[in-house]
Structure 1
Amino acid sequence: MPSPLAPRYWGAHLLAVVLVAAAVGLGVWQYDAWQAHRDAEADDLTHARPVPLTDVIGPDDPFPGTKVGQPVTVSGTWVPGGTVYVSGRVQDGAKGYWVVTPLTVDDADGSALPIVRGWVADPAQAPAAPSGPTSLDAWLQPPEGTGEVDRDPTDDVLPQLRIADLIQHVDQDLYGAYGVATEPEPGLERASVDQLPDVGTFTGIRNLLYAIEWWFFGLFAAFIWWRWVTDTAAERPVVEDAAGSPPRDP
């Protein structure tokens, strides 16, 4: 029997190489598609074009998880006496406070959106709270929930920007979100935005399973080829011996 490396078997070897290469390539393609799905869900929207707040979230709506950092345009009136300071905000290595004032949104049935007007090192250095109507652009963010307790609910300093804590400082309903002003007011520094939406565990999972399936098929094809080569090589000496030597008498 000819050797497994004989020219007559080159076609079989080439077929095995093509099958394995195709399976690996298709698996990589599906893996890239899975990764692209996850990257798209965790997309940084902070540089997108601002859209009206009403196109993203309503006064009673839960926060849309895919819209973290979405720039929105908000028009309304500042809530008098509703300014609070959120502690523990690091800016260029220095600890300070977010200055937050709710804005009653036009055509929102009196509901207000908390607006981070900027960052300041000390609340005593913050400029006076604004008043009257305004229109601004802000990065939309979900409410915080670190679990840290506000140890003094009577003051205007909060440990986190949690709607349940902030609502104690105003007399109207609040959105289930807050905005970070893209342009800080005079006397304040721009607050940083570094949140991205969490990527779901099963985002694009079908593509990942397809990738694993293709790679498994490639391994199976390689295994079949290897078994054929080893079986052919093992049978060859036996056949030659039978063909080249006369049978012996017992």
Structure 2
Amino acid sequence: MTTPDLPTSPDGGATAAPDVPEVFPPTLREVLLRPRWIALLALCLVVAGVFAWLGQWQLGRAIDIDPTPPGATEEVRPIAEVVEPGQYLSEPRVGQRVTVTGTWVPGDFIIVASRFNDGVEGYWVTGQFRVAGDPAVPVSVAVALGWAATEAEAEAAVERLNEDAAAPEAAETALAITGRLISDEGTALPPTGADPFTLTRMSPAALLSRWHDADGLSVYRQYVAAEVPQGGLEAISSPAPAEGSDVNWLNIFYAAEWAVFAGFAFYLWYRLARDAWEKELEDLEDAAAAAS
């Protein structure tokens, strides 16, 4: 058995092996306490604080601290107390019973198709109702006067209504209309093969494009479904809206999301620091292996 040759000195004597300083790997705690990671933690605290504020804001909007009393929509109120012309209607006021005083504009009674009354499809007859007030500032609201089972019945009602509205005394006699205030349904293309001017949605914006005497006119974005039909039409079925909940669960879900984002900011900081620590341990192991 032979022994390995030891390094020798110039005079032929053996020399001792060089001393290699022992390197102790850092702990995860030592890495986390380094200035770089402490600064990154401070940044994560700021980000998490912003997320927490957003979550608190969402929670504040999730619970209605001033809910609408039950049955409030059944109290008849002047339309001007509920919404102004051109304004959007807030959700608790949709379906509010309102009253409005004014006169009909002759020639602006328009039929809207595909209207269901207690499950039966038919037609609405609508009209431009000029609100009583300052003539220099004209204001109108779209009113659904009633329902007809057939288009012929609806057209006959339009003829009667136009005759009544064109009478000389009609322009001087103010009428009071009571009904539910309902939001614009938007517009839709007419059915295939139908008249291109056919309306299937109750949209004051669409009706406005076909009204007369509309220069400088202010219009309510909503329409009124009249409780008492006119022109020989049937009453429109318009039940009271369902009572809404005082809790908005969608906002609560958003608040929970912001809390998750805040927690993820801290997890990301920890994960990055741990990855750096593990990389440093691997480098030390590789260096030790190369030295041996």
TM-score (ref. length: structure 2): 0.50
Matched with 2:233 is 188
In 2, Cα distance between equivalents of 1:110 and 1:66: 28
Matched with 1:137 is 178
Could you tell me which runs of 5 or more consecutive residues in structure 2 were left unpaired when the two chains were aligned: 1-61, 257-292
Matched with 1:160 is 201
2:211 aligns with one of 145, 160, 170: 170
Judged with a 3 Å threshold, the aligned counterparts in structure 2 of structure 1 residues 153 and 76 are, in CA distance, closer, same or farther, namely farther
1:65 Cα shift? 2.4
SS of the equivalent of 1:189 reads coil
Q: Does 1:119 pair with 2:147?
A: yes
In 2, Cα distance between equivalents of 1:139 and 1:49: 10
How many percent identity over aligned positions? 26
Higher RCO (C-alpha under 8 Å, 6+ residues apart): 1
Q: Does 1:89 pair with 2:115?
A: yes
Which is higher, the Rg of structure 1 or of structure 2?
2
Q: Deviations over 1:63-114 (max 9, x none)?
A: 2322111111110110111111111112233210111111011126212111
1:44 Cα shift? 6.0
Judged with a 3 Å threshold, the aligned counterparts in structure 2 of structure 1 residues 163 and 149 are, in CA distance, closer, same or farther, namely same
Judged with a 3 Å threshold, the aligned counterparts in structure 2 of structure 1 residues 80 and 186 are, in CA distance, closer, same or farther, namely closer
SS of the equivalent of 2:98 reads strand
Judged with a 3 Å threshold, the aligned counterparts in structure 2 of structure 1 residues 116 and 43 are, in CA distance, closer, same or farther, namely farther
In 2, Cα distance between equivalents of 1:92 and 1:60: 31
TM-score (ref. length: structure 1): 0.57
The one-letter amino acid of 1:121's match is A
8 Å CA contact 2:77, 2:99 repeated in 1: yes
8 Å CA contact 2:128, 2:140 repeated in 1: yes
Q: Which moved more, 1:189-198 or 1:173-182?
A: 189-198
1:154 Cα shift? 6.2
1:58 Cα shift? 1.3
1:144 Cα shift? 0.4
